Amino acid sequence: MSSVAASTYLTPEEYLAFERKAFTKHEYLSGEIVAMSGASFAHNFITGDIFGELRTQLQGGKCKAATSDMRVKVSETGSYFYPDVVVFCGEPQAEDNRSDTLLNPTVIVEVLSPSTEARDRGEKFWHYQQLTSLQEYVLVSQDRVCVEHYFREGTDWLRTEFRELDNVMPLNSIECELCLRDIYSSVDLRH
């Protein structure tokens, strides 16, 4: 999803009260709200295909996938984000009784947009790394075949890149795998 920075400072409590009444989504970072704008066809199709593949593979198991409407809080930094796809295992831990803010993601997937790519790779990834539950972070290009997979090993994050449609990316923490051909099946990358 694209984002546009807003210049309003709010406390985390004010942000949640605001966000729960808002008609559009906003992320929250260091007291600043960031309005989320619409996404391209390719972004939506890739996100949907990843969610569909994971939902099917996880069916009946201990892990569940959710779409970009599931807000994730990084308690360690007080930030809130809307990942494109998020997977949690076991019981979902919610911030409060509203059950609209997840605290324990295992896998986070972000589909890169021109307006969010630098943030998804940098600042946002740094925040996500503070989540002790997070085991894997995936960045997916929407305009070419390229998937970056980060896997937590102790305090390090190991990076693997996949660039061929026949590549299969393992998501070991949730015992799933994603074939790039399936991720990109709904988009035409020949331009």
Question: pLDDT tens digits for 97-150?
Answer: 888 999 999 999 999 988 888 889 999 999 999 999 999 999 999 999 999 999
Has residue 5 got a pLDDT over 60?
no
Q: Classify 40-183 by CATH class.
A: alpha beta
Hey, what amino acid is at 129?
Q
Query: To the nearest whole number, what is the mean pLDDT of the chain?
Result: 90
CA atoms within 13 A on the CB side of 128: 29
Q: Give SS3 for 45.
A: helix
79 confidence band (pLDDT: 50, 70, 90): very high
Ranking 1-5, 28-32, 66-70, 118-122 by mean pLDDT, the lowest is 1-5
Is residue 96 within 8 A of residue 112, CB to CB? The reply is: no
Q: What is the pLDDT of residues 33-62, one digit of tens each?
A: 877 777 889 999 999 999 999 999 999 999
Q: What are the residues whose beta carbons fall under 8 Å from the beta carbon of 66, sequence distance 6 or more? A: 85, 86, 87, 88, 102
Is residue 143 within 8 A of residue 39, CB to CB? The reply is: no
8 confidence band (pLDDT: 50, 70, 90): low
* Mean local confidence (pLDDT), 137-165: 97
Q: What are the residues whose beta carbons fall under 8 Å from the beta carbon of 60, sequence distance 6 or more? A: none
Distance CA 116, CA 133 (A): 24
**Residue 4 β-bridge partners:** 35
Burial class (CB in 10 A: 0-12, 13-18, 19+), 136: buried
Sheet with 71-74, edge to edge strand ranges: 3-9, 32-36, 26-29, 79-81, 71-74, 101-102
Has residue 22 got a pLDDT over 60?
yes
